[in-house]
Amino acid sequence: MRRITGAMLLILGLTSSAWAETSEGFYIGLIAGTDKIDVNGLEDASGAGLLAGWNFNKNVALEFAGNAADSKADALLAGCVLEIDTMAIYLTGRTDGKFYTKGRIGVLSETITPRDTCVFVQERSESGLSVSAGGGMRLGKAALELEYTLVEADVNRISLSVLYNF
């Protein structure tokens, strides 16, 4: 999954040919990152996701993000793997310029689903406030962003995104 995500990010990054900043309209992106999990028995999770947004102007956007990650839980049960899926909607702000800072606030829903190897672990879902901060670099119609997201009290995500504005 990491190789596929890396290849997709590289292809999307190389396909941007325009060099003018886009200030309004629709954009999509690919996300790759690591969830830092502070729960006994769970390892950090690597995952990938998709992002779609609408720029109201060059500084304010509405974003929808979905992410899927896997965490090993051998301390709970040998061979146990948990799938962590998140969906969120954010109000996003970005500063002007080629290099910019970014902040988001929104509502995130998280579902932790045990795979077949985790027969005694129950599925768990919760929703709540999510915030993030990061920075990026505009490359014409494309952009690269590095971001830190508070998923929930025990989970923080560090991610790299490639965005493309239409």
Query: How do residues 32-71 score in pLDDT, each as one tens digit?
Result: 999 888 877 777 888 999 999 999 998 999 999 999 998 8
Find, among 84, 59, 55, the residue nearest to 152 by Cα: 84
Instruction: Look at residue 100 and tell me whether its pLDDT is greater than 80.
Output: yes
Which ranges of 23-148 would DSSP assign to H, the alpha helix? none
Strands 124-139 and 45-55: unpaired
Choose from 21-30, 96-105, 121-130 the range with maximum mean pLDDT: 96-105
Query: Are 132 and 125 in contact, with CB atoms under 8 Å apart?
Result: no
For range 99-126, the mean pLDDT: 86
> What is the mean pLDDT of the segment spanning 139-149?
94
Can you tell me whether residue 87 is helix, strand or coil? strand
CA distance 25 to 23: 7
Contact 102/94 with Cβ under 8 angstroms?
Answer: yes
Q: What is the pLDDT of residue 121?
A: 73
| pLDDT confidence of residue 13 | 45
What is the C-alpha separation between 31 and 157, in angstroms, rounded? 11
Which one, of 63, 52, 66, 37, lies nearest residue 166 by Cα?
Answer: 52
CATH classification (class only), 2-165? mainly beta
E-strand stretches of the chain: 25-37, 45-55, 60-72, 81-94, 99-114, 124-139, 142-152, 155-165
pLDDT interval class at 83 (50, 70, 90):
confident
155 pLDDT more than 90: no
